[in-house]
């Protein structure tokens, strides 16, 4: 039976250690020759071999495209819970290029000598069965309960889950006995026997056992890929199996594909000539012959996912119509990687499909596909959206988090090209060796895409301005799929709109920035007694306005705790590595209220931005408000103190802006409110309550910063964009996105749809 899987080809390389780089070189050759997969046997008791995990990791680091798998991994010597983490880790490190193949081991004397516990064949099957539960249980990172497995051979008593692999990582099994074949039918994703150990008829009989067992378990047998290790030599025609010219190989392998259902042929050879000839002459011809026969016989394609995963698909999405170029990065509910991508940093989500894209062409394909589906669309880069709803319920997410390139274009003009999925910590780390920095925000985990399309109020904002003020060009994919470059010279109106309202016009696939020369900076962290909140705010505001531009200061306070002294934290950056200057700048700021604690240090900007990213597990929907403020007047300070007393907000932050931000003309970008000296943000839990108290402050503001605002009422648009800015934005929107495809973040609907 032909199960309809696309044909794949792999190599099977001896992990010999007498010339340790030899297997690595053969793996790289396999990649160059176009093989899909490189595999290695696993005999951890064999002193002549490299350890297979170590070798696979090394190979993953030395290759870029080819997938890597053990052939097959010795389960009795590899505790499955640890193995699961190792497999997921290698899959994550290699960008989804690891596949797992397991075996029950066989050389018991050697295994026992290494400490393995000898098992009977029946016990081996049971142990294997439990190993499946352990491995898949560990990978189920989205499950909230710890993993318990109460098996005969493996007992896990509340193990922590995760990490989830980067892709729907298959588990294949190399085994021959009927009990193991039945287990494959029940649980595995593939069967990987070696032809050398099969007698005539064994292959077909084995397939039948697996199919029958799969059906009894309620599975579609086509979920199980059939792989085969083969060995041979090229030479003159002969009667031997795979002992002749390429044409003979093709003739002998074709029935195995069409009649027995083998879809992955793995060539066992360490001879580069054999690998080369197979790749050049056998693989393409075999693939062509199989495609031809399948077209004639109308063989249905194999399902790409298990029945359990398919059952979790959401209505309204034509999953089978996902373009081939996007399938590798398509993550569905039920896929092991789903838990890591469903939600964002702040927001819970349950999208029906996340499309991880890597190139502008893939972005274009993803937009075209998403537009053909009657569900919501969200665009995600770093997943730290506050206003930006970069997840949804049942819709599609175009996820750019794998587009993380950072490249210096021109050292002399400090031009740097940055892709949207990079995090600001990566950017700071990449620029530091050049003595450069780009003012972005206060948190390195935030993504480039969402911040650099809206503003960017960061640690160096007073001296160097907003992040968007450093933009010199962008590459975008528009709603119609066209890929455009925008700068002051090319598509200048689009370039204007991207700097402040960028999420409305397309998907930015690359930003070109001119960055600044920044060395070590002074960083002060102070804790104040905030009992007299209004006085603290007023004095701090005055001190900030009086400070030179090299000083940027953020003040943070929150909900008052009954019986506890109210406190406020101040974080200030001074763009100077001179201790005297740093102290000179921090001193007036330190005097604005009774000081409870302080630290000040001189350190690289990249150290302040350094964070270790973690999986996003946002819950609920954030409630935040934003306002831009000219001065902290006594009236504003009193209103802010009342807000804090009310208990409506748990996070209240005022950032200094002003300085270089105000040097840019309000009409030069779509970030028009440039006269403010402060950006005020509050987060609460109850939207009505927050709004009610915020109204008390509202009259003091001269606009808002969209990236800190979650209120969806239409007045917020006019707060962010005064009439002339709004007119230009709507006009631009009606030209580049008339169908309002991009609307997940501060949506400026085209005039026709907005009814204006
Ligand atoms: C912990 C935290 C700290 C923050 N600190 C700061 C700060 O110091 N300064 C500051 O200015 N902001 C700050 N922000 C706000 C931040 O700028 C925005 O939330 C921003 O949208 C996050 O970008 P992202 O790529 O991580 O978000 P995502 O959630 O990936 O995207 C948010 C929205 O941006 C749009 N978008 C994303 N990528 C693209 C793209 N490639 N092309 C077009 N549109 C796109 C989409 O509409 C999306 O909904 C902070 C946010 C958080 C959660």
Render pLDDT for 690-740 as a digit per residue (tens, 0 to 9).
Answer: 999 999 999 999 999 999 999 999 999 999 999 999 999 999 999 999 999
**Which one is predicted more confidently, 219 or 632?**
632
pLDDT given for residue 164 in this prediction: 87
Determine the 3-state secondary structure of 313 from DSSP: coil
Closest approach atom of ligand 1 to CA 459: 8
Tell me if 448 sits within 8 A of 511, measured CB to CB. yes
- CA 415 to each of CA 434, 472, 513, 668: distance values in angstroms, whole numbers, following the listed order: 12, 8, 6, 21
pLDDT given for residue 339 in this prediction: 80
Reading the block at residue 701, the tokens are: 């503001």
Element (DSSP H or E) covering residue 81: helix 80-93
Q: Ligand 1: which residue has its CA nearest to atom 51?
A: 384
Q: Ligand 1: which residue has its CA nearest to atom 28?
A: 383
Q: Among 413, 483, 406, 480, which residue's Cα sits nearest to residue 447?
A: 406
pLDDT given for residue 239 in this prediction: 85
pLDDT confidence tier of residue 250, bands split at 50, 70 and 90:
very high
Beta bridge partners of 522: 574, 602
Residue 447 carries which DSSP code?
B
Taking the C-alpha atoms of residue 726 and residue 557, their distance in angstroms, rounded to an integer, is 33
| Rounded average pLDDT over 282-290 | 96
Place of tokens 């690289």: 604
The best mutation among 342, 441, 450, 654 to test binding of ligand 1, ranked by most ligand atoms within 8 Å of the C-beta, falls on 450
β-pairing, 551-558 with 516-517? unpaired
Q: Ligand 1: which residue has its CA nearest to atom 34?
A: 450
pLDDT confidence tier of residue 375, bands split at 50, 70 and 90:
very high
Closest approach atom of ligand 1 to CA 387: 19
DSSP 107-170: -HHHHHHTTPPP--HHHHHHHHHHHHHHHHHHH-TT-SSPEEEE-SS-EEEEEPP-PPPSS---
The best mutation among 357, 451, 624, 628 to test binding of ligand 1, ranked by most ligand atoms within 8 Å of the C-beta, falls on 451
pLDDT given for residue 756 in this prediction: 72
The best mutation among 399, 449, 556, 682 to test binding of ligand 1, ranked by most ligand atoms within 8 Å of the C-beta, falls on 449
DSSP 243-269: EE-HHHHHHHHHHHHHTS---EEEEE-
Q: Ligand 1: which residue has its CA nearest to atom 48?
A: 388
Whether the predicted pLDDT of 307 surpasses 80: no
Helix pair 80-93, 52-62: axis angle to 10 deg? 10
Q: Distance, CA 73 to ligand 1 centroid (Å)?
A: 42
Residues in the chain: 756
Name 135's Cβ contacts closer than 8 Å, sequence gap at least 6: 80, 81, 83, 84, 87, 100, 171
The proportion of the chain whose per-residue pLDDT surpasses 70, expressed as a percent, equals 100
Closest approach atom of ligand 1 to CA 346: 53
Q: Distance, CA 521 to ligand 1 centroid (Å)?
A: 25
User: In 192-314, where do the E strands start and end?
Assistant: 225-230, 233-234, 243-244, 264-268
Q: Among 185, 201, 202, 354, which residue's Cα sits nearest to residue 193?
A: 202
Tell me if 33 sits within 8 A of 60, measured CB to CB. no
DSSP 539-569: HHHHHHHHS-TTEEEEEEEEPPPTTS--EEE
pLDDT tens column, 125-182: 999 999 999 999 999 887 879 999 999 999 999 999 989 888 889 999 999 999 999 9
Whether the predicted pLDDT of 306 surpasses 80: no
Q: How far apart, in Å, do the first and last CA atoms of the chain sit?
A: 62
Tell me if 736 sits within 8 A of 496, measured CB to CB. no
The best mutation among 376, 383, 388 to test binding of ligand 1, ranked by most ligand atoms within 8 Å of the C-beta, falls on 388
pLDDT given for residue 337 in this prediction: 76
**Which one is predicted more confidently, 303 or 719?**
719
pLDDT given for residue 142 in this prediction: 76
Taking the C-alpha atoms of residue 407 and residue 417, their distance in angstroms, rounded to an integer, is 5
Q: Distance, CA 281 to ligand 1 centroid (Å)?
A: 50
pLDDT confidence tier of residue 488, bands split at 50, 70 and 90:
very high
- CA 186 to each of CA 182, 428, 639: distance values in angstroms, whole numbers, following the listed order: 6, 49, 66
**72 preceded by a cis bond (ω within 30 of 0):** yes
pLDDT given for residue 511 in this prediction: 98
Whether the predicted pLDDT of 298 surpasses 80: no
Taking the C-alpha atoms of residue 465 and residue 424, their distance in angstroms, rounded to an integer, is 16
Tell me if 360 sits within 8 A of 483, measured CB to CB. yes
pLDDT given for residue 589 in this prediction: 98
Whether the predicted pLDDT of 621 surpasses 80: yes
Q: Distance, CA 707 to ligand 1 centroid (Å)?
A: 7
pLDDT confidence tier of residue 321, bands split at 50, 70 and 90:
very high
Closest approach atom of ligand 1 to CA 381: 30
Q: Ligand 1: which residue has its CA nearest to atom 19?
A: 385
pLDDT confidence tier of residue 276, bands split at 50, 70 and 90:
very high
Name 274's Cβ contacts closer than 8 Å, sequence gap at least 6: 232, 233, 234, 267
Whether the predicted pLDDT of 612 surpasses 90: no
Q: Which protein residues touch ligand 1 with a CB less than 6 Å away?
A: 344-346, 378-386, 388-390, 400, 420, 441-443, 446-447, 449-451, 453, 455-458, 502-503, 507-508, 707, 744-745
pLDDT tens column, 378-413: 999 999 999 999 999 999 999 999 999 999 999 999
Q: Distance, CA 674 to ligand 1 centroid (Å)?
A: 20
* Burial class of residue 21 (count of CB atoms within 10 Å of its CB; 0-12, 13-18, 19+): exposed
pLDDT confidence tier of residue 308, bands split at 50, 70 and 90:
confident
Q: Ligand 1: which residue has its CA nearest to atom 8?
A: 441
Q: Distance, CA 224 to ligand 1 centroid (Å)?
A: 41
pLDDT confidence tier of residue 445, bands split at 50, 70 and 90:
very high
Tell me if 167 sits within 8 A of 203, measured CB to CB. no
Q: Distance, CA 473 to ligand 1 centroid (Å)?
A: 19
Average pLDDT, the chain: 95
pLDDT confidence tier of residue 562, bands split at 50, 70 and 90:
confident
Reading the block at residue 664, the tokens are: 């840019």
Could you count the other beta carbons within 10 Å of the beta carbon of residue 498?
A: 28
pLDDT tens column, 35-88: 999 999 999 999 999 999 999 999 999 998 899 999 999 999 999 999 999 999
pLDDT given for residue 385 in this prediction: 97
pLDDT given for residue 504 in this prediction: 98
The proportion of the chain whose per-residue pLDDT surpasses 90, expressed as a percent, equals 88
Residue 746 carries which DSSP code?
S
Q: Distance, CA 382 to ligand 1 centroid (Å)?
A: 7
pLDDT tens column, 446-464: 999 999 999 999 999 999 9
β-pairing, 567-574 with 551-558? antiparallel
CA torsion angle for 417, 422, 427, 428 (degrees, to 10)?
170
pLDDT tens column, 113-127: 998 889 998 999 999
The best mutation among 378, 385, 508, 682 to test binding of ligand 1, ranked by most ligand atoms within 8 Å of the C-beta, falls on 385
pLDDT given for residue 752 in this prediction: 78
Closest approach atom of ligand 1 to CA 476: 42
Q: Distance, CA 269 to ligand 1 centroid (Å)?
A: 50
Q: Ligand 1: which residue has its CA nearest to atom 16?
A: 451
Q: Distance, CA 742 to ligand 1 centroid (Å)?
A: 15
pTM: 0.78
Q: Ligand 1: which residue has its CA nearest to atom 35?
A: 450
pLDDT given for residue 594 in this prediction: 97
């Amino acid at each position: 039976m032909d199960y309809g899987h696309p044909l794949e080809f792999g190599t099977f390389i001896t992990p010999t250690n007498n010339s340790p780089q030899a297997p690595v070189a053969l793996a790289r050759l396999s990649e160059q020759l176009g093989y899909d997969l490189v595999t290695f046997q696993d005999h951890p008791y064999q002193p002549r071999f490299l350890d297979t995990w170590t070798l696979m990791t090394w190979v993953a680091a030395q290759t870029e495209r080819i997938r890597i798998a053990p052939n097959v991994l010795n389960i009795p010597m590899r505790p499955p819970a640890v193995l699961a983490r190792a497999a997921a880790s290698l899959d994550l490190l290699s960008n989804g290029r690891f596949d797992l193949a397991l075996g029950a081991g066989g050389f018991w004397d050697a295994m026992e000598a290494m400490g393995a516990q000898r098992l009977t064949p029946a016990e081996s099957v049971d142990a294997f069965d439990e190993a499946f539960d352990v491995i898949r249980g560990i990978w189920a990172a989205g499950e909230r309960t710890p993993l318990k497995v109460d098996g005969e051979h493996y007992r896990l008593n509340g193990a922590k889950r995760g990490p989830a692999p980067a892709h729907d990582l298959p588990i294949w099994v190399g085994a021959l006995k009927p009990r193991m074949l039945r287990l494959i039918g029940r649980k595995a994703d593939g069967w990987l026997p070696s032809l050398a150990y099969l007698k005539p008829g064994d292959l077909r009989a084995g397939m039948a056992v697996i199919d029958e067992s799969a059906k009894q378990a309620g599975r579609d047998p086509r979920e199980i890929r059939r792989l085969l290790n083969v060995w041979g030599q090229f030479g003159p025609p002969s009667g031997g199996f795979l002992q002749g010219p390429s044409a003979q190989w093709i003739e002998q392998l074709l029935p195995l594909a069409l009649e027995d259902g083998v879809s992955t042929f793995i060539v066992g050879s360490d001879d580069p000539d054999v690998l080369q000839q197979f790749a050049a002459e056998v693989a393409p011809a075999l693939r062509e012959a199989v495609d031809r026969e399948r077209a004639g016989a109308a063989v249905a394609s194999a399902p790409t996912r298990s029945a359990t995963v398919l059952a979790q698909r959401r209505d309204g999405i034509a999953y089978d119509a996902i373009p081939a170029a996007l399938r590798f990065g398509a993550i569905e509910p039920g896929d092991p990687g789903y838990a890591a991508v469903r939600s964002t940093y702040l927001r819970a989500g349950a999208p029906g499909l996340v499309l991880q894209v890597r190139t502008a062409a893939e972005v274009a394909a993803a937009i075209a596909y998403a537009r053909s589906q009657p569900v919501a669309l969200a665009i995600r880069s770093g997943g730290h959206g506050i206003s930006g709803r970069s997840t949804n319920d049942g819709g599609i997410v175009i996820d750019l988090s794998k587009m993380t390139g950072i490249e210096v274009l021109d050292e002399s003009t400090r031009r740097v090209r940055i892709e949207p999925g990079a995090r600001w910590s990566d950017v700071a780390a990449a620029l530091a060796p050049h003595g450069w920095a780009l003012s972005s925000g206060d948190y390195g985990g935030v993504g480039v895409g969402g911040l650099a399309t809206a503003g960017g109020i960061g640690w160096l904002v007073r001296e160097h301005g907003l992040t968007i003020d450093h933009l010199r060009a962008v590459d975008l994919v528009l709603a119609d799929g066209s890929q455009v470059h925008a700068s002051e010279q090319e598509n200048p109106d689009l370039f204007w709109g991207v700097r402040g309202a960028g999420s409305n016009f397309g998907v930015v696939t690359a930003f070109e920035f001119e960055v600044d020369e920044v060395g070590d900076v002074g960083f002060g962290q102070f804790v104040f007694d905030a009992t007299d909140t209004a006085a603290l705010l007023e004095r701090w505001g005055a001190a900030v306005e009086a400070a030179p531009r090299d000083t940027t200061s953020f003040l943070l306070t929150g909900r008052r705790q009954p019986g506890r002294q109210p406190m406020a934290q101040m974080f200030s950056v001074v763009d100077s590595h001179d201790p005297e200057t740093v102290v000179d700048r921090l001193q007036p700021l330190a005097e604005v209220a009774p000081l409870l604690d302080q630290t000040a240090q001189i350190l690289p900007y990249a150290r302040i931005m350094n964070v270790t990213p973690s999986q996003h597990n946002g819950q609920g929907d954030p409630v935040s408000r934003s306002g831009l403020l000219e001065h902290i007047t006594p009236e504003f300070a009193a209103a802010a103190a009342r807000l804090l007393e009310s208990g409506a907000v748990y996070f209240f932050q005022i950032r200094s802006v002003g300085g270089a931000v105000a040097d840019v003309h309000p009409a030069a970008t779509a970030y028009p409110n440039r006269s403010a000296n402060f950006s005020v943000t509050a987060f609460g839990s109850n939207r009505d309550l927050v709004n009610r108290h915020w109204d008390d402050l509202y009259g003091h503001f001269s606009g808002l910063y969209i990236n800190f605002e979650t209120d969806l009422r239409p007045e917020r648009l006019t707060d962010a964009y005064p009439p002339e800015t709004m007119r230009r934005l709507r006009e631009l929107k009606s030209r580049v996105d008339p169908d309002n495809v991009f609307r997940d973040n501060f949506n400026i609907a085209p005039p026709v749809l907005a009814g204006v």
